[in-house]
Structures are given as C-alpha cells and as structure tokens.
C-alpha cells in the first residue's frame, strides 16, 4: 500500500507541475499577443481615450469661445447699425463750397 500512495503522490505532483507550466505558457502567450496587438494598433495612429478626451474638451472650449465672440460681434454690429452714418468727404469740397 505504501507504494500505491507514493505513486498517487508522484502523479499529483506531476499534474500540479504540468498545470503550473500550462498556466505559465498561457500567461506568456497572452502577454506576447497583447504586445503584438499594441504594436499593430500603435502603428495605425490611434489615440488613447485620455488624449481623445483632452482634445474633445479643447474643441468644446474653442466652440464656446467662438460663440461668445460671435455674440459680441453681433452686438457690436447691431450698435453700429443704429449709429448715425459717418460722412467721409475726402474731396475737400465740403468745406466752404456752399
């Protein structure tokens, strides 16, 4: 009986070692696949989510600033529309011609 127990112990150690080895191979394969995917996608000029969010925030800020400037310009142009027209007499005939 002693030899049977030792046989089962050796078999259990073998299975545990094989399971550990297989798990290590799987981790190595996954890491290699991730690295290849990262290299492949990195060459395609994709941006990270963080970079996208920063540029998106910049675009929103620029749009808000453009809208504010447009409103300011519209207000200035509206004021000029109600102002009396300026006379631009460049001929010099306007002085004492009457």
79, two tokens: 């004021």
Region 31-44: what's the mean pLDDT? 85
Same domain, 76 and 51: yes
Same domain, 67 and 78: yes
Q: Is 83 left (phi over 0), alpha (psi -120 to 50) or beta?
A: beta
Whether 3 shows a pLDDT value over 90: the answer reads: no
Q: What is the pLDDT of residues 39-94, one digit of tens each?
A: 887 777 778 899 999 999 999 999 999 999 999 999 998 876 555 556 655 555 55
- Residue 46 CA to residue 96 CA, distance in Å, equals 73
Number of structural domains found in the chain: 2
Report the predicted TM-score, pTM, of the whole model to 2 decimal places.
Answer: 0.39
Asked if residue 58 belongs to a domain, the reply is yes
Q: Which domain holds residue 28?
A: 10-45
Same domain, 35 and 54: no
Asked if residue 5 belongs to a domain, the reply is no
How close are the terminal C-alpha atoms of the chain, in Å? 138
- Residue 61 CA to residue 91 CA, distance in Å, equals 48
Q: How far is CA 30 from the centre of its chain?
A: 26
pLDDT value, residue 98: 46
């Amino acid at each position: 009986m002693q030899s049977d127990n030792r046989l089962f112990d050796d078999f259990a150690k073998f299975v545990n070692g094989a399971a550990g080895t297989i798990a290590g191979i799987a981790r190595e394969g996954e890491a290699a696949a991730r690295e290849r995917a990262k290299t492949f996608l990195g060459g395609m000029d994709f941006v990270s989510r963080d970079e996208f969010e920063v540029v998106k925030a910049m675009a929103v800020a620029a749009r808000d600033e453009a809208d504010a400037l447009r409103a300011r310009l519209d207000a200035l142009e509206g004021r000029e529309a109600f102002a009396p027209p300026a006379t631009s007499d460049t001929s010099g005939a306007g002085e004492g011609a009457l």
